[in-house]
Amino acid sequence: MASVPPPVREFVKRRDGMIHAMDGGLWLHRHVWKGRQMAHLISVDRAQLLRYGAAVGIPAERLQFKPLRDPRTAIRRDAWHWDLVGPFVPGK
């Protein structure tokens, strides 16, 4: 039985998405890179990102570490993200 990935959220305002990620939620940030649709799935909760990756078939070694600045405090915090492309970008 396949596991269900944790829920992700998108936000109109980047700041709102960043706050959600800083609070441990999964923030889906869509963008275009070199003409190709892709997304980042960002959070300070590494375990939750790994659960998401396991549920959709992304190898754990592809999880990327990148400290991010919390917009509420301007303090850098440990954060991680997946680069999602092709079939891994959730439908809109």
- On average, the pLDDT of the chain sits at 93
In this predicted structure, the answer to whether residue 62 has a pLDDT above a threshold of 70 is yes
In the chain, domain spans: 14-87
- Between the alpha carbon of residue 79 and those of residues 1, 3, 50, 76, 87, the distances in Å are 30, 24, 12, 9, 24
- Pair 54, 3: CB distance under 8 Å: yes
The two three-digit tokens of residue 68, written as one number? 């991010």
Share of the chain above pLDDT 90, in %: 77
CA pair distance 61, 71, nearest whole angstrom? 28
How much is the average pLDDT of 2-9? 84
CA pair distance 56, 20, nearest whole angstrom? 21
Q: For residues 92 and 81, which has the higher predicted lDDT (pLDDT)?
A: 81
